[in-house]
Amino acid sequence: MPGPGPHVQGEAEKSKDFSKAIKRLARELKPYYFRAAIGIFFAIAGSIIAIIVPNQLSDLTDEIAKGLTSDLNFDVIWSIALTIGGLELGSLISETIEGFTMTDVANKFARELRNRISIKINKLPLKFFDQNQTGDTLSRVTNDVDLIAQTLTQSLSTFIAAVALLFGVTIMMFVTNGIMAITAVISGLFGFFFMAIVLKKSQKYFTARQKQLGLLNAHIEEIYSGLNVVKAYNGNKEAGQKFNKLNHKVYEANRKSQFLSGLMPPMMGFIGNFSYVAVCIVGAVLVSNDTITFGTIVAFIVYVRMFTSPLSQIAQALSSLQSSAAASERVFEFLDEKEMDDQKELTTYLDKDKVKGKIEFSHVRFGYDPKKIIIKDFSAKAMPGQKIAIVGPTGAGKTTMVNLLMKFYDINSGTILIDDIPVSRLKRENVHELFTMVLQDTWLFSGTIKENILFNRHHVSDKKVREVCDTVGLTHFIKTLPHGIDSKVSENDDSISSGQRQLLTIARGMVEDTPFLILDEATSNVDTRTEELVQKAMDKLMKGRTSFIIAHRLSTIKNADLILVMKDGNIIESGTHQQLLDQNGFYAELYNSQFQIT
């Protein structure tokens, strides 16, 4: 896992971030172009209306000025006033339609991104989740997607409308009076220059902020999910120190990015006031020479405000786009992760009702890192209905063999065969439906007891569920719950013990008839008395099935048909329990160590 510190990239390395991310975002928005175009059209329409209003104000001012030396023409004044009122109403309607349309586009795009992420998660190999923190992935789904939606809602149309307003106002100023237009534009160019400098400096901090926020979320998720361990080992101080360190880095990246982007509005305000003063001075000189009327000065005062206002809006929109670029880069990086092979070309299919139950490992080699092989030359054969136990010290490769058998990982070389058919010719879904797995790690989702037992199985009768609960020993526990089998439970429910969770997991595995069974330390969280009950249930469950049992308690696998002893990725011994004890080798040493008192 990479270190959490914000790495401020070099200029050459980070220069691609903003432009490439924005281009990618534009490509992803292609299906929404039409609806977005409607919103942008009304945004531009509002800008055009805003440009027309100063001309009407100029006419109104000149008409009032004339009335100071003669009678006021109220018909003309009312006509101009009604025109201005109509334009303002049109601007209100345009802005309303633009806001509704862009909000709709942004939220639908965000919904599509979340759907794509959800689909993507199911297509990613297990290796991705082994190498990436859960909290960082969640941050991409929540914070980053929300930030993209917020930018589309608030900044995209604002940016385009501001650009249209900037060009429109510039043209109208030159049409009205060239000298005053040049005065306003020259003073406004300082704003463009300042904005370009700030954008160049601040992008790296926006990128760092999103990265550090993901790392902070990953740490929070990790600590809260293991809070009992943290408290038991008095790790609160260390966890708090790491949180403070990560939080400080988020603060620093956020402070610098917000400070630099926050410089733009006041700077734009200063430039606007500077332009306002310059226009007033030049306008006063031109009026004194009878070159322009007083109404032209009024119009230019409004134009100057309108000229600097889009500069400020563009600056703010670009700041938001910078944040969105950093967020979209993380989201699309996730969506571009290498997926598992689609396996469409695989047509071989094994019907679980017709599978005989033979499995063979032939010279299997595998390493999570191709440069570090941990399963070096594994060969074994399981005949139909046999109970195969795999034992060995921690790190010997026992669980890895199960992962390979379930096709969670692809082997580097060798062959795994099911009924003499290579697993490589079978789709993952086909392989998974042949196996029932009961793992050491329990997992419950928010739902009823019944829903947890019947997870993803809809054809199992209530009678079968009750029989399984009786067999496993869950019936008494279920009767103590307020709503029985329909009582709600969740992963964070402290009222359910680890042993009860394990029994629920075992019951989940027992409701489905499959030809193969994998038990990975399935009784590790239950007491000795419950283990005896579960062991009897397991014997019933394993009857007629080819079963693989991974166990550290060697007393639980005495009746296995074949015991494979693994060490350093190889089988060093094999045989029945008694045969291995008679050999007085590594297995005998492991078995006898359980009864030694030190």
Count: domains in the chain: 2
Which pLDDT score, from 0 to 100, does residue 79 have? 81
Type of residue numbered 30: K
Do 467 and 325 fall within a single domain? Answer: no
Q: Which residue has the higher pLDDT, 431 or 537?
A: 431
Residue 534 has pLDDT above 70, yes or no: no
Lookup: tokens for 372: 């570090």
Asked if the structure places residue 313 within a domain, the reply is: yes
* Helix locations, 226-338, DSSP H: 227-232, 236-262, 264-288, 294-335
User: What is the mean predicted confidence (pLDDT) over 389-401?
Assistant: 81
Which of 138, 491, 195 has its CA nearest to residue 317?
A: 195
Taking residue 239's Cβ as centre, other Cβ atoms within 10 Å add up to: 19
Determine if the pTM surpasses 0.85.
no
pLDDT in tens, 550-563: 877 776 778 888 88
Which pLDDT score, from 0 to 100, does residue 500 have? 80
Distances (CA, A) of 526 to 494, 522, 523, 531: 16, 9, 6, 6
Give the CATH number of the domain where residue 243 resides: 1.20.1560.10
What's the rounded Cα separation, in Å, for the pair 564 and 312?
72
Which pLDDT score, from 0 to 100, does residue 2 have? 40
| Phi, psi angles (nearest 5°) of residue 520 | -105, 95
Residue 159 has pLDDT above 70, yes or no: yes
Residue 270 has pLDDT above 80, yes or no: no
Lowest mean pLDDT among 71-75, 165-169, 183-187: 71-75
Which pLDDT score, from 0 to 100, does residue 199 have? 65
Residue 107 has pLDDT above 70, yes or no: yes
pLDDT in tens, 274-315: 777 777 788 788 877 777 777 777 777 777 777 777 776 777
| Phi, psi angles (nearest 5°) of residue 366 | -160, 145
Do 314 and 442 fall within a single domain? Answer: no
Apex 178 CA angle, 173 and 184, nearest 5: 60
Among 335, 351, 366, the domain-final residue is 335
Do 330 and 443 fall within a single domain? Answer: no
Which of 566, 550, 554 has its CA nearest to residue 595?
A: 554
Among 335, 356, 375, the domain-final residue is 335
Q: Which residue has the higher pLDDT, 13 or 143?
A: 143
Do 306 and 445 fall within a single domain? Answer: no
Do 483 and 565 fall within a single domain? Answer: yes
What's the rounded Cα separation, in Å, for the pair 320 and 31?
22
Distances (CA, A) of 424 to 352, 398, 429, 435: 17, 20, 12, 16
As a 3-state breakdown, the chain gives helix, strand, coil percent values, each rounded to 5, of 65, 10, 25
User: What is the mean predicted confidence (pLDDT) over 211-227?
Assistant: 76
Asked if the structure places residue 382 within a domain, the reply is: no
Q: Provide the residue range defining the domain that includes 74.
A: 14-335
| Phi, psi angles (nearest 5°) of residue 360 | -135, 130
Do 291 and 394 fall within a single domain? Answer: no
Do 394 and 324 fall within a single domain? Answer: no
User: What is the mean predicted confidence (pLDDT) over 325-350?
Assistant: 84
At 241, the pLDDT band (50, 70, 90 cuts) reads confident
Among 335, 351, 379, the domain-final residue is 335
User: What is the mean predicted confidence (pLDDT) over 500-513?
Assistant: 80
Asked if the structure places residue 348 within a domain, the reply is: no
At 118, the pLDDT band (50, 70, 90 cuts) reads confident
User: What is the mean predicted confidence (pLDDT) over 43-59?
Assistant: 73
Which pLDDT score, from 0 to 100, does residue 177 have? 79
Residue 540 has pLDDT above 80, yes or no: no
Residue 407 has pLDDT above 80, yes or no: yes
Asked if the structure places residue 545 within a domain, the reply is: yes
Asked if the structure places residue 51 within a domain, the reply is: yes
Asked if the structure places residue 460 within a domain, the reply is: yes
In the predicted model, what is the mean pLDDT of the chain? Answer: 78
Contact indicator for 118, 202 with CB cutoff of 8 Å: no
Give percent of the chain above pLDDT 70: 84
Asked if the structure places residue 417 within a domain, the reply is: no
Residue 341 has pLDDT above 50, yes or no: yes
Residue 130, Cβ density class (10 Å: 0-12 exposed, 13-18 middle, ≥19 buried): exposed
Give the CATH number of the domain where residue 532 resides: 3.40.50.300
Strand order in the sheet with 435-438: 435-438, 516-520, 546-550, 387-391, 562-567, 570-575
User: What is the mean predicted confidence (pLDDT) over 243-261?
Assistant: 81
Which pLDDT score, from 0 to 100, does residue 191 have? 64
User: What is the mean predicted confidence (pLDDT) over 486-506?
Assistant: 78
Do 98 and 171 fall within a single domain? Answer: yes
pLDDT in tens, 440-468: 777 777 888 888 888 877 778 888 888 88
Do 313 and 445 fall within a single domain? Answer: no
Do 331 and 395 fall within a single domain? Answer: no
Which pLDDT score, from 0 to 100, does residue 14 have? 46
Asked if the structure places residue 364 within a domain, the reply is: no
Do 270 and 400 fall within a single domain? Answer: no
What's the rounded Cα separation, in Å, for the pair 107 and 102?
9
Contact indicator for 334, 137 with CB cutoff of 8 Å: yes
